[in-house]
Amino acid sequence: MTSDPSRPRCSVEALAREEPQFATASLVKAWLLIEQPGAWGPDALLDSGFPNEIARPLLRLAARVGARILLIRRRQRDQSDPVVFLAHSGGNGLAPTMVSGRISGPADLMDLDLDGLAEGRFPEFGRPVVGPVYLVCTHGRHDLCCADKGRPLYRAMSQLRPEQTWETSHIGGDRFAGNLVVLPRGDYFGRLDPEDTDNLVAAYEERRLDLTHYRGRSVQPRLVQAAEHYLRARRALSGFDELEVVDYRRPEPHHGEVVFRDSSLRTHRVRVMARTLPDPVFLTCRAGEPGQPVAYDLLSMEEG
C-alpha cells in the first residue's frame, strides 16, 4: 500500500486532534540491530538488498522468540564489516544490557542465539556497549512522516552524539514522528523536533526522562505505561530509578491496576482504563483503511 498524496500526513492529523502519545511504546524486550546501508523498502529486511534466504528464516526465528529486528545505518561510514547490536531491555529482575560486534556476512546472523537473548542470556558475541544508543526512525518508504520528521531529527542527534546515533527502520507509531528509541532500556520518545534534542540527551544521560515527549518503555505492557505516565506527571518524577513496579493486575481486559514503589519506599496504587476512541482515523500515511486508536484514562491514584 502506498501513501495517498491527497491525504494529510498522519503525524499532522494526530497532532491536530491532540491524540495522546503516552503508552504507545512498542512491546519489545530483545533486539537485533543489523547495519544495512542503502535504501530500505517498505519491509526493510525483505526490501533492502539483504539476502532473502537469510532474512526469511531470521524473521521467523525472531517472531517465535519475540525479538525485534531493525536495520540501522549511518552515512559516510566504512561498512566493510557490518556492525550488529544485541540488546535486552531488562525487566523482571534483569538489567538492560547491550553488546555490539562485527560480522563477516549475513549468514553469521544465523549462528546467534536469539532464543537465549530473548530470555536475557547473551551469546558470546562482541563486547558490552557503554552508554545509550539513540535510534532515530527515518524509514520514509514505510511512512512519509518518518522521513519528513526523522531525517532532520537524525541530523541534529548526529551532531550531538555522532558515535551513538543511528538511523533505524520502522520502530512503531508513525503518527508520532519524529520518533526515537533509546537502547538498551527501550525508552520511546515521539513528536521530537531537532531543537528538542539538547535537553532530551542531557536529561537522559543524567538518567532522567523528557516526560513531554516520552511514549513509554518497551518492556512494560501498555496499561503499565499509562499508569506510570499518570503517576510521573502528578508527582513530577522523571528519574529512571524513581519508580519501580511491584505489582500489576488486570481485573478486566481493559482495566489495569499497578502498584509502584518510589525512591522513598512509598507505594502508589494506580488504576487505569483503556478505551477505543470513537472516530476512525488513518493511523499511518500508508494505511488503506482507517482504524481506531486507543487512549488511556486514569481511574484512581492512591498512596500507601
What kind of fold does domain 221-304 have according to CATH? Nuclear Transport Factor 2; Chain: A, (3.10.450)
So what's the pLDDT on residue 2?
Answer: 57
pTM of the predicted protein model: 0.95
Q: Distance (Å, rounded) from C-alpha 110 to C-alpha 212? A: 40
- pLDDT for position 75: 78
Q: What is the pLDDT of residue 79?
A: 62
Whether 295 contacts 22, CB under 8 Å:
no
**CA nearest 293: which of 80, 45, 18?**
18
C-alpha–C-alpha distance, residues 259 and 244, integer Å:
8
Q: What is the pLDDT of residue 5?
A: 63
Measured in whole angstroms, the distance separating CA 200 from the mean position of its chain's CA atoms is 15
Per-residue pLDDT of the chain (304 residues; tens, 9 = 90+): 555 666 789 999 999 999 999 999 999 999 999 999 888 999 999 998 889 999 999 999 999 999 999 999 997 666 678 899 999 999 888 999 999 999 998 999 999 999 999 999 988 899 999 989 999 999 998 999 999 999 999 999 999 999 999 999 999 999 999 999 999 999 999 999 999 999 999 999 999 999 999 999 999 999 999 999 999 999 999 999 999 999 999 999 999 999 999 999 999 999 999 999 988 999 999 898 999 999 999 999 999 7
What are the boundaries of each domain within the chain? 6-219, 221-304
Strands 214-217 and 187-189: antiparallel
Q: How far apart are CA 189 and CA 272, in angstroms?
A: 21
Q: With b meaning 16 or more CB within 10 Å and e meaning fewer, what string describes 39-48?
A: ebebebbeeb
What is the C-alpha radius of gyration for the chain, rounded to an integer number of angstroms? 19
CATH fold for the domain made of 6-219: Glutaredoxin (3.40.30)
